[in-house]
Amino acid sequence: MSAPPEPPRELSSSWSSRIVRSLRTIHRPVDARLLALFRMLFGAVMFYETRYYIQVGVPGVGLTAPKVLFKYDGLEWLHPLTEAGMTNLLDVMGLLALAIMVGLFHRVATALFTLGFAFIFFQDKALYNNHLYLFFLLGGMLSCMAASRVWSVDRALPWNKGLPTSVPLWMPLLLRVQLFIVYFYGGIAKLNGDWLIHHQPMRAALENWTRGTDWHGFMTAAPTVMFFTYGGLLFDLVIGFLLWFPRTRLLGVLGMLFFNVTNHLMFDDIGVFPFVMIGATMLFIDPDAFGRWWDRNLGGRKVPSGKRKGGNALIEIGGKHRVVNTLLVVYLTFQLLFPLRWVVLPWDVDWTSIGQRFSWRMKVQTRDLRGMAWTVRDRSGNSTPVDVTSFVNTMQVQQMAHDPRCAVRFARWLKQDLVNRGYGIASVHAEIILSYNGRPFRYLFDPDQDLSGLKPDIWHPERWIPPMDAPGLLVTPPERGG
């Protein structure tokens, strides 16, 4: 059997040359002002977030008042400080956010802020939100970037005056790619039967948004629902491409304005995310073109071209560049593959919640929680009701409806806590009644199931959670347990 023919040497050489040229291109110096402007935006938003966290009581009601927190696997060792300690941490993070905004010891300030943000964010699954995960990633990336070479206090420091007023292209480019991934993967997540056929949860979102208004009938009519459903899908899939190319960028910007303003009006749990994404549109602009526009239209002082090392010349790849290239490949490979783990997981990950977080599966499911009643039974079968709000906060109650593993975690903790206090508890039960993506109301678990005896299994969800269409769990009058 003859060996397969080798590819033409010219073809191999061509691909090799393209790769080398690309690796050189991402290290090409570009105007630093666009990255500096994004740094200011990020610092301002993070300062607002720290104040908001204190205002809504995250240090107390969110983290220290609950008797149990829903930990991520592997982070069970992570525990919050006291309420005063968490408040002080947020105050310090607020100062660090201001330092980021003005560019004072930018890299140190951003790294410390991101560590503090992660310390809070990973305390409890109930705190998870896709935009908070994005903020964490942006902070981590900015802490590795020279985002304070212009328009910053750092620039005025004596030892920094000789630094170039440019940054490598990979810095703004990496942020741009991350935003592209967020939107595109958000579109991929919508390629499912509920979204494409049943128009859920968009139908429910429009219903809730316009209930009691004069335009409710129009906004919930079939053509409007289809416009928002398929329009949202199309937007997520193409917006990155529209913004990437100059010829379609204006159309992309208009789409970003309409989409994000509408989201701000429609949803009450996404905070400042729509406005951050509108502002982040700047990252899709060519940094040098932005610098020229600024000088020409806003009277900004022109950055001396002599200070921009390298100009458009090809960069010789050295040891430092190879390290950067390796880290970029590792990071982007993770960002491209990890959100797709739902492909190999059994069942619908939005139902089981396994693989749903950190995957940019935004607004693809809704759960209308009608009621949640917990009881414990002794060895004689006698039931005693439990006031769940004595142990967890409102966000955690909602989380137990959205993530069945959290309900099991609470049941196991509750049983152990009561046993430790001398109660003869044999089992823990819950009547969690909800509607998933507009389906009829049903029990999340069989009310006779002892949740404290369940062990969530990633690869075998059928062993611990009923499927969303399980027979016998629909709520029909008269309802059990109301």
CB-count burial class (<10 Å; 0-12, 13-18, 19+) for 46: buried
Residue type at 404 in one-letter notation: P
Q: For residues 18 and 188, which has the higher predicted lDDT (pLDDT)?
A: 188
pTM for this entry: 0.91
What is the maximal distance between C-alpha atoms in the chain?
85
Reference 193, options 233, 236, 235, 240; nearest CA is: 233
Work out the mean pLDDT of the chain and round it to a whole number: 91
Tell me: pLDDT of 438 over 60.
yes
Distance in angstroms (rounded) separating the CA atoms of residues 339 and 133:
12
Give per-residue pLDDT as tens, 146-156. 999 999 999 99
Does the bond joining 80 to the residue before it have cis omega, within 30 degrees of 0?
no
Give per-residue pLDDT as tens, 209-220. 999 899 999 999
Domain boundaries, the chain: 28-168, 170-302+317-364, 366-463
User: Measured between alpha carbons, how far is residue 462 from residues 348, 441, 470 in Å?
Assistant: 12, 20, 11
Tell me: pLDDT of 307 over 50.
no
Q: What is the pLDDT of residue 318?
A: 77
CB-count burial class (<10 Å; 0-12, 13-18, 19+) for 93: buried
Give per-residue pLDDT as tens, 57-107. 999 999 999 999 999 999 999 999 999 999 999 999 999 999 999 999 999
Reference 134, options 396, 339, 355; nearest CA is: 339
3-class SS at 375? strand
Question: What single-letter DSSP state applies at residue 474?
Answer: B
